[in-house]
């Protein structure tokens, strides 16, 4: 059944004492959405399930970008079917991009699922769970457009020291390989004051690093949710500079920009704002102009490399990473060699490489020239070999240099015999370091010297040169996580009249 609205539901009536688990697939946007889902459930009375324990409610926050996303999801849901059969009060909910795409068909494939909700209405989840329990009937609610910014919803953050902050939702691009715009809608931007209020709230709770999130962050300012705020193409650069004025905010990152809209004012803001990190993730996708045209990527290789040159002129030590798709329909040997040429010229510190996968509903799925799997695999391995060598060389060049690390938890594999811990350098590189006799906590900051390198990480077995305990480290040690509630517009469109919140709105 397709339901509309949820004002009358009171999910707190039966949520008390029930536990939940959220399983996340896909991009950083989904990771942040999962923090919102956790916040919603906890606000409704649910408790997070202990590690390894069975949860009363399991929520799948799905991705639809890769070809195997469907199979992976339905396989994981099927593993819960026997438990659902033995415990009818256990509930399964599926949200995210795959739910938005499959809708009621999801229940046909997995009839034991209790709730299906879309990308535009994650705030409906607690009410839908309660309604499914009360009615003993599966609930499907898929909104066709954004009802509320995810930032207006409570969030149970995963980290005490680093946080995602959404600056926009949706995307106005029409890349032929991508289904995201169809599932997340057109771009709508949050007001700068709302974003900065959320960042200040996080910093007040000890967070040291924020990552500004959007499908196309440097298009920020194209379409503000508040219709009284005019379009502003300089809004993203201004937002970066405003983040630089927030006391206690030590690191600012953003992802992902689009090369077609990358402007010099953003480069200047990055270089001139001390807490904006010297790191840039900018998708290339292909180095062939012919393939870029077929992808509807409105830039060419020369423009892309020009942006990199200007970034490195302003920030010589910037680490630049990218996304690349191998085997797009019609890609020739010459097209692939053009991609390798750009990779060699750009000298990325890392690249996220993907074999093209056919996604139903995208224009590329209907293009002629779909390549055999063995051709795509061979090219993928060649690209991987070239990029791994470049990554190793770029990392090896840092041996002997000092790095400031924000100590992290759960990042990368470490040799237990060395007692190494992990941290992120300001440029985003992962560093495995030896703490020595220093009592180091995630969320604290230290300086050390790079002693070794591999393609995907650095090693620092030298003595710790400087160590600073932080409020984020205190919070992590105490098991505390920052929470944000009600920051942003309550609805999309002209804001309703509300009492001042003290959050800078």
Residue 176 and residue 105 share a domain: no
Instruction: Tell me the percentage of the chain whose pLDDT exceeds 90.
Output: 60
Lowest mean pLDDT among 96-105, 145-154, 175-184: 145-154
First to last CA, the chain: 38
pLDDT at residue 495, rounded to an integer: 31
Q: Binding residue per annotation — 503?
A: no
Residue pair 356/329 in contact (Cβ under 8 Å)? The answer is: yes
pLDDT band per the 50, 70, 90 thresholds, residue 1: very low
| Residues ≥6 apart with Cβ < 8 Å to 48 | 19, 20, 21, 38, 42, 156
| Domain membership flag for residue 489 | no
Residue 475 and residue 372 share a domain: no
Stretch 20-39: mean pLDDT, rounded? 86
Per-residue pLDDT of 158-171, as tens digits, reads 899 999 999 998 88
pLDDT band per the 50, 70, 90 thresholds, residue 98: confident
pLDDT surpassing 50 at residue 253: yes
| Domain membership flag for residue 10 | no
Q: Binding residue per annotation — 175?
A: yes
CA distance 20 to 39: 11
Lowest mean pLDDT among 86-90, 331-335, 467-471, 488-492: 488-492
- Residue 109 belongs to domain with CATH number: 3.40.50.12160
| Domain membership flag for residue 480 | yes
Give the full edge-to-edge strand order of the sheet including 162-166: 162-166, 209-213, 251-255
78: left (phi over 0), alpha (psi -120 to 50) or beta: alpha
Higher pLDDT, 64 or 481: 481
pLDDT band per the 50, 70, 90 thresholds, residue 414: low
pLDDT at residue 150, rounded to an integer: 65
Tokens of 100: 């938005």
| Domain membership flag for residue 7 | no
Stretch 377-387: mean pLDDT, rounded? 98
Residue 182 and residue 112 share a domain: no
Residue 241 and residue 213 share a domain: yes
pLDDT at residue 147, rounded to an integer: 64
Per-residue pLDDT of 302-325, as tens digits, reads 999 999 999 999 999 999 999 999
Provide the domain limits for residue 50. 19-141
Residue 429 and residue 358 share a domain: no
Residue 392 and residue 406 share a domain: no
Lowest mean pLDDT among 9-13, 22-26, 243-247, 273-277: 9-13
Question: Into how many domains does the chain fold?
Answer: 3
| Domain membership flag for residue 85 | yes
| Domain membership flag for residue 326 | yes
Residue 284 and residue 174 share a domain: yes
| Domain membership flag for residue 5 | no
Residue 79 and residue 106 share a domain: yes
pLDDT at residue 378, rounded to an integer: 98
pLDDT band per the 50, 70, 90 thresholds, residue 470: very high
pLDDT band per the 50, 70, 90 thresholds, residue 119: confident
Q: 264-272 and 301-314 are packed helices; what angle lies between their axes, rounded to 10 degrees? A: 20
Output b/e per residue, 368-383; b: 16+ Cβ within 10 A: eebbeeeebeebbeeb
- Residue 446 belongs to domain with CATH number: 2.40.50
pLDDT surpassing 80 at residue 243: yes
Residue 413 and residue 314 share a domain: no
| Domain membership flag for residue 6 | no
Q: What is the mean pLDDT of the chain?
A: 87
Task: Give the single-character DSSP code of 230.
Answer: P
- Among the candidates 397, 417, 452, a domain finishes at 397
pLDDT band per the 50, 70, 90 thresholds, residue 203: very high
pLDDT at residue 146, rounded to an integer: 67
Residue 154 and residue 137 share a domain: no
Task: Give the single-character DSSP code of 494.
Answer: S
Residue pair 400/353 in contact (Cβ under 8 Å)? The answer is: no
pLDDT at residue 4, rounded to an integer: 38
Q: Binding residue per annotation — 63?
A: yes
Higher pLDDT, 226 or 246: 246
Q: How many residues does the chain have?
A: 505
Q: Binding residue per annotation — 97?
A: yes
Residue 333 and residue 203 share a domain: yes
Residue 409 and residue 260 share a domain: no
pLDDT surpassing 70 at residue 500: no
Per-residue pLDDT of 417-464, as tens digits, reads 668 999 999 999 999 999 988 889 999 999 999 999 999 999 999 999
Lowest mean pLDDT among 7-11, 72-76, 122-126, 471-475: 7-11
pLDDT surpassing 60 at residue 126: yes
- Residue 298 belongs to domain with CATH number: 3.80.30.20
- Among the candidates 377, 397, 417, a domain finishes at 397
- Among the candidates 361, 379, 397, a domain finishes at 397
């Amino acid at each position: 059944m397709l339901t509309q609205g949820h004002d009358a539901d009171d999910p707190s009536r039966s949520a008390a004492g029930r536990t939940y688990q959220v399983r996340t697939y896909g991009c950083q946007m989904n990771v942040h959405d999962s923090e919102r889902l956790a916040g919603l459930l906890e606000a409704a009375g649910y408790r997070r399930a202990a590690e390894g324990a069975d949860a009363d409610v399991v929520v799948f926050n799905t991705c639809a970008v890769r070809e195997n996303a469907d199979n992976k999801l339905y396989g994981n849901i099927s593993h819960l079917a026997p438990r659902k059969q033995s415990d009818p009060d256990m509930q399964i909910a599926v949200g995210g991009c795959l739910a938005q795409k499959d809708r009621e068909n999801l229940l046909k494939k997995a009839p034991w699922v209790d709730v299906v909700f879309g990308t535009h209405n994650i705030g409906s989840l607690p009410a839908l769970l309660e309604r499914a329990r009360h009615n003993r009937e599966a609930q499907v609610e898929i909104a066709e457009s954004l009802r509320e910014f995810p930032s207006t919803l409570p969030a149970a953050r995963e980290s005490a020291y680093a946080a995602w902050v959404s600056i926009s939702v949706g995307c106005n691009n029409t890349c032929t390989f991508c289904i995201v715009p169809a599932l997340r809608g057109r771009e709508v931007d949050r007001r700068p004051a709302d974003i900065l209020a959320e960042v200040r709230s996080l910093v007040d709770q000890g967070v040291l690093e924020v990552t500004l999130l959007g499908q196309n962050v440097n298009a920020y300012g194209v379409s503000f949710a508040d219709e009284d705020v005019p379009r502003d193409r300089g809004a993203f650069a201004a937002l970066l500079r405003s983040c630089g004025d927030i006391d206690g905010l030590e690191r600012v990152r953003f992802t992902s920009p689009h090369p077609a809209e990358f402007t010099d004012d953003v480069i200047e803001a990055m270089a001139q704002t001390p807490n904006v990190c010297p790191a840039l993730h900018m998708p290339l996708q292909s180095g062939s102009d012919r393939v870029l045209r077929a992808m509807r990527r409105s830039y060419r290789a020369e423009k892309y490399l020009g942006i990199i040159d200007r970034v490195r002129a302003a920030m010589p030590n910037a680490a630049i990473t990218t996304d690349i798709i191998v085997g797009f329909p019609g890609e020739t040997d010459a097209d692939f060699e053009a991609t390798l040429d750009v990779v060699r010229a750009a000298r990325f510190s890392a690249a996220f490489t993907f074999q093209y996968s056919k996604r139903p509903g995208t224009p590329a799925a209907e293009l002629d020239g779909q390549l055999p799997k063995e051709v795509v695999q061979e090219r993928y391995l060649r690209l991987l070999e070239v990029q791994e060598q470049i990554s190793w060389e770029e990392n090896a060049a840092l041996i002997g240099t000092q790095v400031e690390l924000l100590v992290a938890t759960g990042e990368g594999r470490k040799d237990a015999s060395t007692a190494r811990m992990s941290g992120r350098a300001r440029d985003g590189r992962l560093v495995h370091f030896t703490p020595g006799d220093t009592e180091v906590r995630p969320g604290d900051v230290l300086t050390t010297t790079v002693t070794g390198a591999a393609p995907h990480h650095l090693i620092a077995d030298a003595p710790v040169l400087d160590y600073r305990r932080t409020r984020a480290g205190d919070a992590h040690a105490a098991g505390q996580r920052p929470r944000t509630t009600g920051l942003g517009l309550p609805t999309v469109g002209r804001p309703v009249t509300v009492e001042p919140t003290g959050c800078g709105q």
